[in-house]
């Protein structure tokens, strides 16, 4: 039986979802796990479909972690580069997401501290290899098995677009919505549903951002949802839409919303850049070629001159997006069978097998 020390977040954010799915595979594979939650905080409210036996294993792995922790076990940390300097045992692997293209000296130094570092995208791995890193690997994540068809009928007589992911410049949230409104605003044959609340903004800030986004105008076919607290509600959202726009983000470590929508058979319009190139193809997605690059700095999440997260993001021409949205209209009532194949091509079983194989190299 393998033993690992797992240091990872457990919450409803993307890192927490990935950690939970990794832990579930450790459970299935009989791995003995000392689980140290990041910040000693555990929030499982989003995971409303957990198998009771796995839930018990998870609780035991957390509660008994100090009894079972051992110098002989490899530490696997699932976290940002910023905050990755600590370790629980002599041998350590960091699994992380990185979106940009200009690793800073501090980021390079922290990466060099790891025995091995696995990135969720080949773009991120290559960004560090180009700066001289020699301990980097690419291990993709998988499809969340808690997602699947609901069998419900949603907006039968409308073409329903969806956008999911926290509101950021990096994700081009404002530009995507404004481009959609330019083409379809108040045309009630079409619907846009947005789940773009950023938990790092106060509610009044978020209201102001959305008000400015539409210039105070009312569009009856644009709907902004609050945060969806459970994975079942997220699954409902994906199943309800026909066309996903989340893939138009300018820089991603994977892009769970776009990937999950595509894997559930929806038609995703995807910017052909960064991590998208690891899973989105011209057979399973509608690809938009980037028009260039721009700096990532937004004064909030990305500060110019900071020790972390420096560089550029890819941008796009709005007419290219409009053209793909029109193309998607002709496809959207058909199931994306090539997209569904992603469920088998990318699994958390494969992710964890690769991580355990990497542990064996230490």
Q: Tens digits of per-residue pLDDT, 304-362?
A: 999 999 999 999 999 999 999 999 999 988 999 999 999 999 999 999 999 999 999 99
In-domain check, residue 214: yes
- The predicted structure's pLDDT at residue 255: 98
* CA-based torsion, 324, 327, 328, 334: positive or negative: negative
The token duo for 349 is 């079983």
Shared domain check, 181 and 112: no
Which phi and psi angles does 121 have, rounded to 5°? -140, 150
- How sure is the predictor about 96, in pLDDT bands with cuts at 50, 70 and 90? very high
Residue 216 has pLDDT above 90, yes or no: no
Q: What is the pLDDT of residues 29-63, one digit of tens each?
A: 999 999 999 999 999 999 999 999 999 999 999 99
Distance CA 285, CA 279 (A): 9
Shared domain check, 290 and 201: yes
Please answer whether residues 97 and 119 qualify as being in contact, where contact means their C-beta atoms are separated by less than 8 angstroms.
yes
In the predicted model, what is the mean pLDDT of the chain? Answer: 96
- How sure is the predictor about 1, in pLDDT bands with cuts at 50, 70 and 90? low
Please answer whether residues 94 and 75 qualify as being in contact, where contact means their C-beta atoms are separated by less than 8 angstroms.
no
Shared domain check, 80 and 182: no
Quickly list H helices, 264-347. Answer: 318-329, 337-340, 342-345
Please state the separation of Cα 308 from the chain's center in Å: 19
- The predicted structure's pLDDT at residue 284: 98
The arithmetic mean of pLDDT across residues 199-221, rounded, is 88
Residue 136 has pLDDT above 70, yes or no: yes
In-domain check, residue 32: yes
pTM: 0.96
Maximum Cα–Cα distance for the chain, whole Å? 63
Shared domain check, 325 and 243: yes
Q: Which domain holds residue 195?
A: 159-345
Kind of pairing between the strands at 292-295 and 286-288 = unpaired
Shared domain check, 355 and 295: no
The arithmetic mean of pLDDT across residues 86-90, rounded, is 95
In-domain check, residue 81: yes
Distance CA 48, CA 56 (A): 14
In-domain check, residue 302: yes
Please answer whether residues 49 and 232 qualify as being in contact, where contact means their C-beta atoms are separated by less than 8 angstroms.
yes
Q: Which of 128-137, 198-207, 322-331 has the lowest mean pLDDT?
A: 198-207
The arithmetic mean of pLDDT across residues 80-102, rounded, is 97
Shared domain check, 262 and 286: yes
Shared domain check, 351 and 328: no
Q: What is the pLDDT of residues 12-21, one digit of tens each?
A: 889 999 999 9
Residue 168 has pLDDT above 80, yes or no: yes
- The predicted structure's pLDDT at residue 310: 98
Distances (CA, A) of 235 to 87, 200, 264, 279, 346: 35, 23, 9, 20, 18
In-domain check, residue 38: yes
Q: How many domains does the chain have?
A: 2
The token duo for 220 is 């009856």
Coil, strand or helix at 70 = coil
Residues 6+ away with beta carbon under 8 Å from 301: 168, 170, 200, 309
Shared domain check, 219 and 113: no
Q: How large a percentage of the chain has pLDDT more than 70?
A: 100
CATH number at residue 100: 3.40.50.2000
Shared domain check, 112 and 102: yes
- The predicted structure's pLDDT at residue 202: 85
């Amino acid at each position: 039986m393998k033993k690992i020390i797992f240091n990872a977040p457990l919450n409803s954010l993307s890192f927490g979802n990935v950690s939970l799915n990794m832990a579930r595979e450790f459970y299935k594979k009989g791995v003995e796990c000392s689980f140290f939650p990041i910040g000693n905080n555990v929030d499982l409210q989003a995971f409303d479909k957990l198998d009771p036996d796995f839930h018990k294993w998870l609780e035991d792995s957390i509660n008994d972690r100090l009894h079972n922790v051992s110098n002989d076990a490899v530490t696997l940390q699932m976290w940002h580069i910023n905050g990755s300097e600590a370790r629980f045992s002599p041998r350590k692997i960091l699994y992380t997401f990185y979106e940009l293209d200009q690793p800073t000296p501090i980021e390079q130094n922290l990466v060099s501290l790891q025995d091995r570092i696995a990135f969720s995208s080949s773009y991120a791995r290559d960004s560090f290899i180009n700066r001289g890193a020699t301990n980097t690997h690419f291990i993709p994540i998988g499809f969340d098995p808690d997602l699947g068809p609901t069998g419900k009928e949603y907006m039968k007589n409308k073409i329903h677009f969806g956008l999911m992911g926290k509101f950021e410049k990096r994700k081009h949230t404002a530009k995507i919505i404004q481009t959609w409104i330019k083409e379809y605003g108040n045309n009630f044959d079409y619907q846009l549903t947005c789940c773009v609340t950023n938990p790092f903004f106060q509610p009044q800030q978020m209201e102001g951002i959305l008000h400015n986004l539409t210039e105070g105008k009312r569009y009856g076919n644009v709907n902004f949802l609050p945060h969806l607290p459970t994975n079942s509600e997220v699954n409902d959202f994906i199943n309800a839409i026909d066309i996903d726009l989340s893939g138009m983000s300018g820089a991603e470590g994977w892009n769970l919303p776009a990937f999950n929508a595509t894997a559930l058979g929806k038609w995703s319009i995807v910017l052909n850049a960064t991590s998208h190139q690891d899973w989105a193809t011209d057979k399973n997605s509608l690809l938009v070629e980037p028009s260039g690059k721009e700096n990532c700095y937004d004064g909030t999440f990305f500060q110019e001159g900071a020790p972390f997260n420096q560089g550029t993001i890819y941008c796009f021409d709005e007419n290219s997006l409009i053209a793909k949205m029109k193309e998607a209209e002709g496809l959207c009532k058909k199931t994306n069978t090539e997209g569904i194949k992603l469920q088998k091509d990318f699994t958390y079983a494969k992710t964890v097998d690769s991580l355990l194989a990497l542990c064996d190299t230490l």
